[in-house]
Amino acid sequence: MSVDVEVLDPRFDPEPAYWSALRERAGLRADWAWEVLVTQAWCARTPQPVVVLRDGGAPAAVVAAAWISTHSRRHRFVSSTRGGRLGGLDVRSPGSSAVPGWWFADADGADAGCGRLLTRYVPVMRRELGAGLRGLLVRQVPEAGVARLAGRFRLVRRTEDVGVIDTAGLAGTEDWLAGLGKKRRHNLRRIAEAVRADPALEVAMLPGAEVDPVRLAALLRHNERKHHDVPIVPLPQFTGYLTRLLRQPDVLVLRYQERATGRLVAAALVLDHPNWPVVRAWSALPVDDGGRADLYFHFYGETVRWAAESGRHGVIMGKKLAHLKKSLGARLVPQYAAAIPL
């Protein structure tokens, strides 16, 4: 059985001929579309190697990572092809902190592919990057993979849980509301009624291509400014990135817009998936700047309604505000991060 490897740099490498088929087979969302990866790789602080392992000629695994080295700078885009000689790999999904950044065709449920990261991915990157590869940070590790990644001198820590709302079997929002606490249910109904009664506000779930990426980028900055409580502040979503992301057919936007002015009041960006779409981002104008109160709660109802009506198994709502998400019917899925010296 022959195994070959491609280490791709989206900045310089053309889209592989098999990429669309690989995305579909692996269930990779729109943030893995090649043109989106290209924009992201150019507008990143570090090189973003994408590794494809082929088995008998066909792609059998894909892993996305960031090569964080001594050359990386907080306020500067990546400045060279290689990006430094000494550093570590941060294995994570290119566009979402709620799902893993790897897929192995032959992964079983026992370790969720974490073992293969060590046995198949690490040797490839060691050959590619040399002895300067000193560590591996694996994020969005599910509980099943913890035992495989734990070990001497390795650090495995629980990170924020991911909220998931199951919508399989729900006929609509009423079924979802029925499962919530009485106060929360009453509150959500009141908010839904207020939004419905607001003649100035238009709410619609739209294909991404129908939304102006520049206005969406400006709106998303409001939310991104709130999340500077982490050691490495993520880069905002730039207009060029959103332009390419929104034109993917599997991207949706829940848009709250003023009818008269066309002003974007709030929006949720959804990366669609046949079973498990991911809410990539949410943002709303502050009330002081003309925004509406409580739209965050309304967006849950709309998202659940859309997911239930379109037959999705559920919606991955992402990290942060775990208790609030739980009160809105989300189950909290534990996530871990593993730091592994190499």
Partner 1 sequence: MWTSGVNALWRAAYRRAVRSAFATVPLYRERWALGGRTDPVVVPGRTGTHGGAITAEEAVRKVVDLVPLAGGAASPDPARGLGHVLPLARPPRPGTLVVVVDPAIPRPPTDLPNTLRGCVLDPASLTGGTRPAALDEVVTALRRNGNVTAVGPDEAIAALVAALPEDLAHRVDRLPHRALDRLDGGPFGLIHDPVLGYLGGIGHCGRWHLDWPRVYARRTTGGLALTLLRQSSPRLVDILVAGGVRGEVAPCPRHGTPVVLT
Question: Which residue ranges make up the site for partner 1 (CB under 8 A)?
Answer: 11, 38-39, 42-43, 45, 74-77, 79, 214, 217-218, 221, 235-236, 238-241
The first and second tokens of residue 275, run together, are 């079973």
Nearer to partner 1, 53 or 217 (CB): 217
Least distance from C-beta 241 to partner 1, angstroms? 7
Minimum CB–partner distance for residue 82 and partner 1 (Å): 16
User: CA-CA distance, 169 to 76, in Å (whole number)?
Assistant: 48
* DSSP letter, residue 110: T
Nearer to partner 1, 85 or 221 (CB): 221
Q: Tell me if 254 sits within 8 A of 302, measured CB to CB.
A: yes
CB 251 within 8 A of CB 207: yes
* Shortest spacing between CB 290 and partner 1, in angstroms: 17
Q: Which is nearer to partner 1, 63 or 267 (CB)?
A: 267
Measured in whole angstroms, the distance separating CA 156 from the mean position of its chain's CA atoms is 21
By beta-carbon proximity to partner 1, the closer residue of 183 and 228 is 228
Contact (CB, 8 A) for 37 and 15: no
How far is it, in rounded angstroms, from Cα 37 to Cα 52?
Answer: 14
Query: Please, are residues 327 and 184 in contact by the beta-carbon 8 Å criterion?
Result: yes
User: For the chain, what's the residue count?
Assistant: 342
Nearest distance from C-beta of residue 38 to partner 1, angstroms: 7
Q: How far is the CB of 216 from partner 1 (least distance, A)?
A: 10
> Among residues 31 and 166, whose Cβ is nearest to partner 1?
31
Beta-carbon count within 10 A of 152 CB = 5
